[in-house]
Homo-oligomer: A and B are copies of this chain.
């Protein structure tokens, strides 16, 4: 029993760190208790939160900011957050996809609402080169949408602070398609992320893949960091490997899926590379009986092209949500910058 209890305590401690980690300013125990309940479904009274905060302070994971016991997370606390409880993190990628799809409020027809985004940080000095590397990829349409947002250091983007000396870029994440289908009552099974090989400007086959349910890491971030993509080549000559992912939907929902795809295109969201038929393989990936496969482009493809050009990037795939109307066309944004 002691073992289970200590694991429970560990989880509560981490939930508090998560609340503090995602807050932009310091928080008191009352606010923490409320957010734990609203955002994580963890019931912990103010007094229990104060007890935990005392322990966290001792471990150097949080620090007192004011006399009224407002707390903020320390660098050690952020570190703990990213390393702790790996078994909670596994399946983390699939959980994150599900959560973001659920939280997305994007309305295809109104073209408004919260949309899932990836955030990437570039060194300010390299940002112009990065935009140059990304332009051909956006031109070739190897992206979920050409809508982006940019924030200078000190600003925030999708709830994340842009570090000193960096520029933040938000790109639309393919989970917007999960969200849109979910709102229309279509359950979507997110199976894996992989590299998709093109030839003669057409998607051909998956080359490598990592299942979302068996990984604590986002496959796109791995493929970018391991330099396994040739997105720039694909944009230039129609042959190469891009980031893509594989979803399954019930085959009988296909007419509705096709209708939604058309409506998404009107909102400038074109992340769907291929739609399979009932029970038939797509891009050489077999699907279950009465299921149909969907191949989606990775939202980070333009960013992958910048990485291929040797530009250092810190990626946070599936990092949060932003209002669709706060995003602007890549072309308008770059015109303004130049």
Interface residues of A in 60-110 (CB under 8 A from B): 82-87, 89-90
Q: Which residues of B contact A84 (CB under 8 A)?
A: 205
Q: How far is the CB of A250 from chain B (nearest CB, A)?
A: 21
- How far is it, in angstroms, between the C-alpha of A197 and the C-alpha of B89 when the chains are bound? 15
A86 touching B214 by the CB < 8 A rule? no
Copies in the complex: 2
Q: Which residues of B contact A207 (CB under 8 A)?
A: 82-83, 86
B226 touching A83 by the CB < 8 A rule? no
**Looking across the interface, which residue of chain B has its beta carbon closest to that of A280?**
B3
Q: How far is the CB of A84 from chain B (nearest CB, A)?
A: 8
A210 touching B205 by the CB < 8 A rule? no
Counting contact residues on chain A (CB < 8 A from B), the size range is: 20 to 34
Assess whether A211 is interfacial by the CB under 8 Å rule.
Answer: yes
Interface SS of chain A:
mixed
Q: Which residues of B contact A205 (CB under 8 A)?
A: 83-86
A89 touching B208 by the CB < 8 A rule? yes
- How far is it, in angstroms, between the C-alpha of A11 and the C-alpha of B138 when the chains are bound? 36
Chain A 174-214 interface mask (CB, 8 Å, partner B; 1/0): 00000000000000000010100100000001111111011
B87 touching A286 by the CB < 8 A rule? yes
Assess whether A259 is interfacial by the CB under 8 Å rule.
Answer: no
Of the candidate stretches A119-127, A139-147, A215-223, A294-302, the one touching chain B is A215-223
- How far is it, in angstroms, between the C-alpha of A86 and the C-alpha of B206 when the chains are bound? 6
Q: Which residues of B contact A83 (CB under 8 A)?
A: 197, 205, 207
Assess whether A237 is interfacial by the CB under 8 Å rule.
Answer: no
Q: Which residues of B contact A217 (CB under 8 A)?
A: 208, 210
From the candidates B85, B194, B216, name the one contacting A210 in the complex (CB within 8 A).
Answer: B216
Assess whether A58 is interfacial by the CB under 8 Å rule.
Answer: no
Known A-B contacts: A87-B285, A194-B216, A225-B226. Give 10 more (CB < 8 A). Answer: A83-B197, A85-B284, A86-B207, A86-B285, A90-B209, A209-B215, A210-B214, A213-B214, A214-B215, A222-B226
A-B contacts, 20 listed (Cβ < 8 Å): A82-B207, A85-B205, A86-B206, A86-B208, A86-B209, A86-B284, A89-B208, A90-B211, A194-B216, A208-B216, A208-B217, A209-B215, A210-B215, A210-B216, A210-B217, A211-B211, A213-B214, A214-B214, A221-B226, A225-B226
